[in-house]
C-alpha cells in the first residue's frame, strides 16, 4: 500500500516547516488553492519543501487563502540516489514531459547537454524547475531533483567525476540484455550518469569522445528506435531496476 495520501492536495513551499509555523502563500498558490481547488480557510493540505519532510497544514485567510498553518509532520524527509539524468534538450511540451518523468523515476540531478544535433538551442531552466515541482507535488515526492545549467557535451565530459558510471544509451550499440549489462557494473557504480542523446543521434566525433571515457557502459534500449522522451523513461527504469532503489539495492549517497 502507498505510504502517503494520494487524495489530499500537496503544495511545495519554499519555507521552513515546523509545528505552528505560518507560511505565506504567493499569488499563484493562493489562486490555485482558492479558485482551482475551491479550498478555503480551515481546509487541510499537505505541504513540503524538499528539506523538512511532509506536513499536514490548514489553509488560513478570510477572503482567499493567504497562508498555511503547519500542524504536524506526516512523513519524514527522504533522499534520492545519486542518479543524474543527462540529456540533449527537446522542444517545449516534450521537454516538459521528459523532465516530469525523470523526476518520477527518481533522478536527483537533471543536466542538459548541447550536442551537434540537439533540437533546442535554448533551455528555460526556470520552466524545468517548475516542472520538477509539479511532478513532485502530484506524485508524493519529497526530495526535489536539482536542475543544472546547460553545458556543451565536451565541457560536461571534461568536468564530470571520472569515478562515476556513465550509462551511454547508444542506438548503435549491440542489442544485448541491458539488465545483465547493468548488473555487471554494480560494483563499479560510484554515482550514475544516464546519458540520452538527441533524436538525430550523436555525431561520430561525439560518440568517439564518449567511448574514450572511463567507467562507461554502452547500453542499447532494445531492438526498436525510441523517441528521446520515451528513451528517458526506458533507460531510467532499467537503471533503477538493476542498480537503484527498485531492485532493493542500498541507495547511493546523494551528492
pLDDT tens string for the chain (255 positions)?
456 666 789 999 999 999 999 999 999 999 999 999 999 999 999 999 999 999 999 999 888 899 999 999 999 999 999 999 999 999 889 999 999 999 999 999 999 999 999 988 889 999 999 999 999 999 999 999 999 999 999 999 999 998 899 999 887 777 678 888 888 777 666 899 999 998 888 999 999 999 999 889 998 888 888 899 999 999 999 999 988 888 655 555 544
Cβ atoms within 10 Å, residue 223: 6
What is the spatial distance between Cα 118 and Cα 97, in angstroms, rounded to a whole number?
17
Report which of 166, 177, 167 is spatially closest to residue 222, judged by C-alpha positions.
177
> Strand 151-152 and strand 10-12: pairing?
unpaired
DSSP helix/strand/coil, 6: coil
The set of cell numbers assigned to 25 is 502563500
Report which of 8, 26, 27, 28 is spatially closest to residue 71, judged by C-alpha positions.
8
DSSP helix/strand/coil, 156: helix
What is the spatial distance between Cα 122 and Cα 6, in angstroms, rounded to a whole number?
35
Amino acid at each position: 500500500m502507498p505510504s502517503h495520501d494520494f487524495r489530499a492536495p500537496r503544495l511545495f513551499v519554499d519555507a521552513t516547516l515546523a509545528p505552528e509555523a505560518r507560511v505565506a502563500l504567493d499569488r499563484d498558490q493562493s489562486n490555485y488553492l482558492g479558485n482551482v481547488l475551491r479550498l478555503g480557510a480551515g481546509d487541510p493540505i499537505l505541504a513540503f519543501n524538499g528539506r523538512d519532510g511532509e506536513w499536514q497544514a490548514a489553509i488560513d485567510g478570510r477572503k482567499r487563502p493567504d497562508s498555511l498553518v503547519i500542524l504536524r509532520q506526516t512523513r519524514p524527509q527522504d533522499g534520492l540516489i545519486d542518479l543524474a539524468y543527462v540529456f540533449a534538450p527537446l522542444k517545449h511540451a516534450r521537454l516538459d514531459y521528459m523532465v516530469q518523468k525523470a523526476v518520477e523515476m527518481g533522478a536527483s540531478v537533471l543536466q542538459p547537454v548541447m550536442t551537434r544535433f540537439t533540437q533546442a538551442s535554448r533551455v528555460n531552466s526556470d520552466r524545468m524547475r517548475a516542472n520538477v515541482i509539479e511532478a513532485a507535488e502530484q506524485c508524493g515526492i519529497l526530495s526535489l531533483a536539482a536542475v543544472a545549467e546547460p553545458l556543451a557535451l565536451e565541457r560536461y565530459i571534461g568536468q564530470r567525476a571520472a569515478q562515476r558510471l556513465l550509462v551511454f544509451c547508444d542506438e548503435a550499440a549491440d542489442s544485448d540484455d541491458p539488465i545483465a549489462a547493468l548488473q555487471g557494473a554494480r560494483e563499479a557504480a560510484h554515482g550514475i550518469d544516464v546519458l540520452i542523446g538527441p533524436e538525430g543521434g550523436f555525431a561520430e566525433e561525439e560518440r568517439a569522445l564518449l567511448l574514450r571515457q572511463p567507467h562507461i557502459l554502452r547500453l542499447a534500449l532494445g531492438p526498436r528506435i525510441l523517441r528521446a522522451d520515451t528513451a528517458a523513461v526506458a533507460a531510467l527504469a532499467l537503471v533503477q531496476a538493476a542498480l537503484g532503489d527498485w531492485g532493493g539495492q542500498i541507495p547511493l549517497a546523494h551528492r
